[in-house]
Amino acid sequence: MEAWLGLGSNLQQPVAQLRRALKGLSATRGIELTKVSSFYSTPPWGDEEQDDFVNAVAQIETDLEPVPLLHALQSIEDVMGRERSDHRWGPRLIDIDLLLYADRIFRSAELELPHPRMQERAFVLLPLSQLDGKLNIPGYGRVDTLLSGLDYSGITRLGSGHME
């Protein structure tokens, strides 16, 4: 099944953290990394009193169902040293979000698909549009159309990302 992931970090060499997360994804049973966007420097969202983030999007093929996939992503974050707190939108060593799982709309106590508010976030839609601007976000529309309504002027492409 095709799924899309958002990756972000703004602590301890964020580019290195994203590369490490991508290696963790590639090494995880049931996950095949198929595409990775460039890395982007993005201003913080929500709590603006912190360093800029480095964000990217990855497309994967997986045989894991959504909740077990979420648990696999959280396991990679835990191994990398992510500390979870109640501070929303705060600094992150690593954040791996399950954005989309095929065209499923899904809600449970631990997971909501599509990822909540992804359609409002240029730091998600810009790298996603690089990989597939015509991708449909169930219930919201095409990535390129959604991105055209957002201000992404503060986001800078850092290069081709994980291969550099």
Active-site annotation, residues: 82, 92, 95, 97
- Which amino acid appears at position 93 of this protein? L
Alpha helices, H only, the chain? 14-26, 66-80, 122-132, 143-148
Q: What secondary structure letter does DSSP report for 147?
A: H
Please name the residues in contact with 114: beta carbons below 8 A apart, sequence gap of 6 or more. 99, 100, 105, 137, 138, 139, 140
